[in-house]
Amino acid sequence: MKKIIAVTGCPTGIAHTFMAEEALKNAAKKLSVEIKVETNGASGVENAIQPADLVDIAGVIIAADKDVLPDRFNGLPVIEVPVKEAIHHPAELINKVINGEAQYVKANQPPARKLSKKNHWGDKFIST
């Protein structure tokens, strides 16, 4: 079974974050793909991606309209889209990752989309 990681988040973190999570999980189940989804909602990060989660994955879907620290996925294939794309087209996003259509993120590569503020993750600062 293929395995992927997803991260969802929206500025308010009330509805779209969790709608995207549900849509991705439902699509993954139908496609027989194992998925772990980290949500970045109003109450903070839930189901956080751990280094062990990144082993043997086909890739990462970042469906967010806020900074979700994409630098931690350096060296992995990543698709980065607005959160609404995961709500409306989850199967297409999953298939792109599974079919090798995701772009590999390189160290110190800027995010594919401009985000609004600076954040800190571990010992790295990510400027957006």
24/36 Cα distance (integer angstroms): 9
The answer to whether 10 is a known catalytic residue is yes
Intra-chain end-to-end CA distance of the chain, in Å: 35
Q: Which of 110, 97, 41, 46 is nearest to 89 (CA)?
A: 97
61/79 Cα distance (integer angstroms): 5
Residue in 4, 5, 6, 10 annotated catalytic: 10
User: Among all residues, which ones are annotated catalytic?
Assistant: 10
